[in-house]
Amino acid sequence: MRISAVQRTENENRIRAAMDRLLRGEIPPGGKCDIKTLAIEAAVDRTAFYGTRPYSHLRVEFERRVQALQDAGETPDPREAQIARLIAENSKLRKRLAQSEQTIDALSDFRTQALARLAAQHEEIVRLHEAAAKADGVTRLPTSRAATKVIGSCS
């Protein structure tokens, strides 16, 4: 079915208006900033944007404008911006997790070494006490009971 020049102009105007809305970020629920949503918003058959169809030049213009916005660092589709933000956040959190795991491993190694040193020192102290108890020339000093006796006022 052929359309008249007036109908074609009206369709192009609707397409351009829908294109401007989408590029401003006014994306309908369930839509994206793509040709399918553009066709739905302009009430035009999507196949009219491909090949040698009448609105293929508008598809090229739309894709060029979308690419220009993306190159400028803007994203007309808020979902795509959210996806990009979440991917970056996910990457950042994975790096933090890896650093945390490295820190935990280092602290666990330090803890193991410290416990091993404490155990070795304890064994050495016990050995020295036993050696001192067996030695004849060592005199043991009496334990001081004065440390437990309170002299004077504590206040």
> Could you identify the residue written with the tokens 């330090």?
110
What pLDDT is attached to residue 126? Answer: 93
pTM: 0.49
**Distance of alpha carbon 34 from alpha carbon 23, whole angstroms:** 10
| Contact status, residue 19 vs residue 65, Cβ threshold 8 Å | yes
Collapsed DSSP state (helix, strand, coil) of residue 127: helix
**Distance of alpha carbon 40 from alpha carbon 45, whole angstroms:** 8
pLDDT tens for 62-108 read 989 988 888 887 777 777 777 888 899 999 999 999 999 999 999 99
Angle at 26 between CA 29 and CA 37, to 5 degrees: 60
> Could you identify the residue written with the tokens 């404490």?
118
What pLDDT is attached to residue 81? Answer: 73
Using CA atoms, how far residue 115 sits from 98, 103, 119, 129, in Å, is 26, 18, 6, 21
By residue count, the chain amounts to 155
- Here the tokens at position 141 are 């000093």
Q: 25: alpha, beta or left, given left = phi > 0 and alpha = psi -120 to 50?
A: left
| Contact status, residue 38 vs residue 22, Cβ threshold 8 Å | yes
User: Residue 142 gets which letter from DSSP?
Assistant: P
- Here the tokens at position 143 are 């334990």
- Here the tokens at position 124 are 């050495």
Confidence of residue 138 (pLDDT cuts 50, 70, 90): low
Q: Smallest Cα–Cα separation from 78: which of 130, 116, 2, 24?
A: 24
